[in-house]
Amino acid sequence: MIAIGAGVVIPAQAEPLRVTHLQLGLNAGLTRLVVEGSGPLDAAMAASADGLGLQLSLPSTRWAAPAPEVTAGGLVGALGLPVTGPDGQLNIAIDLIEPAVVERAFRLGPQGVRGHRLVIDLRPAEPNAFAAAFAAPVHLPLDTAVDIAPPPTATAGERRRLIVLDAGHGGQDPGAISASGRYEKEITLNVAKAVAQRLRATGRYRVLLTRESDRFIRLSERVALARSKEADLFLSIHADSLSSDRATRGASVYTRAEAASDTEAEALALRENRADQLSDTASAGDLDDVVSILLDLASRDTAKLSSRFAGLLTAAMGETTPLRRNALRAANFRVLSAPDVPSALLELGYLSNPADEALLFSESGRDRLAAAVVGAIDRFFGVEPR
């Protein structure tokens, strides 16, 4: 009850807190959730019922935020839609691509246009550490700050990671063609070279390009190069085009799956896989059955790493350029078939969209995109750029 003046009493309105913004991103190699609210927020985090994800619960809080712009990235495969429980508790389901624990969780006060924030950083964990951490709900913010181990830095003599960058298409295969008649093969090579230059400048990586000039290479040869050199990461770079739709724009990231995540991704994989039909040279030979069965075991770990990198790449691209809705997808891309090299395919944007075309063909746009790719690679290997 609040007393106002003499004798005038009105009931206290327990105004519920409101969540005004929810943001998923990456910070210092950790997956970061920032929940912004109308006042200091409390939350609890628990393992989801199926044990494969997390549930974030905020007591007496209601949702008053726009849909999050990024719903996948880092360790998070998908953020669920917020649901209000009968007790007024706001619940948000967090799908994980691998087990994770809370590294730290703290509050920040209002600052500029930002309101009260609850910042939650997640790091990967072994399944048993995940189970132990969430044996009971974890109350956030955490009372004690947790020190974060310094990121590993390459020392002299240590093997530097090998990144294979694959500029899509080339030679007689132009790839997609822009509204004004420019070629995908040109953009993919320019961006691959810009990424290579930035990666080499860090001194932390060795870099190989599947092609350095405008020439045709079969998809299987691109895969074979990454495998024979024992690459630590393979990134195939592309740009898409939709003949009947000039409005669609934004980047998307793909991993390989036998069954596509959606029909659009399936159609894209068919378009990208068609590249080899433009060559009349014999196939360099697909894996024979025995080898592919043996490699299936390796490919499960590789698939996990590929998903992790794709999530990081999606988040990094989202900080730089518009993303397609459901920007993280999967389909049966032949160029992602290395069973022992983590691989992802980046579609930088749509050549059929004038804004994307301008971005992709400008030097500044290309540099921004390249910087985002390098940021994701750094995060994947646990190196925070300074």
Q: Which two tokens stand for residue 201?
A: 């400048």
Neighbours of 78 (CB within 10 A): 15
The correct pick among 25, 115, 141, 168 for binding Zn ion (CB under 5 A) is 168
Q: Please state the closest distance from residue 336 (CB atom) to Zn ion, in A.
A: 13
In DSSP notation, 264-310 reads HHHHHHHHHHGGGGG--SPP--PPPHHHHHHHHHHHHHHHHHHHHHH
Contact at 8 Å (CB) between 53 and 96? yes
Nearest 10 degrees: CA dihedral of 329, 64, 30, 193? 50
Please choose, from the candidates 6, 309, 285, the residue with its C-alpha nearest in 3D space to the C-alpha of residue 161.
Answer: 309
Residue 349 as a binder of Zn ion (CB under 5 A): the answer is no
Judged by CB, which is closer to Zn ion: 17, or 317? 317
- Count of residues binding Zn ion (CB under 5 A)? 4
Strand, helix or coil for residue 169: coil
- 256-285: contacts with Zn ion (CB under 5 A): 272
Residue 238 as a binder of Zn ion (CB under 5 A): the answer is yes
Residue 170 as a binder of Zn ion (CB under 5 A): the answer is no
Q: Please state the closest distance from residue 272 (CB atom) to Zn ion, in A.
A: 5
- 81-140: contacts with Zn ion (CB under 5 A): none
Judged by CB, which is closer to Zn ion: 272, or 276? 272
Q: Please state the closest distance from residue 359 (CB atom) to Zn ion, in A.
A: 17
Q: Which stretch binds Zn ion (CB under 5 A): 63-71, 113-121, 168-176, 251-259?
A: 168-176
Residue 249 as a binder of Zn ion (CB under 5 A): the answer is no
Distinct helix (H) and strand (E) counts, the chain? 7, 19
CA distances for 208 relative to 162, 164, 326, 382, 386, angstroms = 7, 5, 30, 21, 24
Residue 250 as a binder of Zn ion (CB under 5 A): the answer is no
The correct pick among 53, 175, 250, 318 for binding Zn ion (CB under 5 A) is 175
List phi, psi (to 5°) of 64.
-140, 40
Task: Output Rg (C-alpha) for the chain, integer angstroms.
Answer: 23
Residue 318 as a binder of Zn ion (CB under 5 A): the answer is no
Judged by CB, which is closer to Zn ion: 53, or 168? 168
Q: Please state the closest distance from residue 176 (CB atom) to Zn ion, in A.
A: 6
Q: Please state the closest distance from residue 351 (CB atom) to Zn ion, in A.
A: 10
Judged by CB, which is closer to Zn ion: 318, or 349? 349
Q: Please state the closest distance from residue 349 (CB atom) to Zn ion, in A.
A: 12
Residue 379 as a binder of Zn ion (CB under 5 A): the answer is no
Judged by CB, which is closer to Zn ion: 168, or 349? 168
CA distances for 300 relative to 115, 297, 308, 314, 337, angstroms = 42, 6, 13, 21, 12
Q: Please state the closest distance from residue 188 (CB atom) to Zn ion, in A.
A: 7
Judged by the rule CB under 5 A, the positions of this chain that interact with Zn ion are: 168, 175, 238, 272
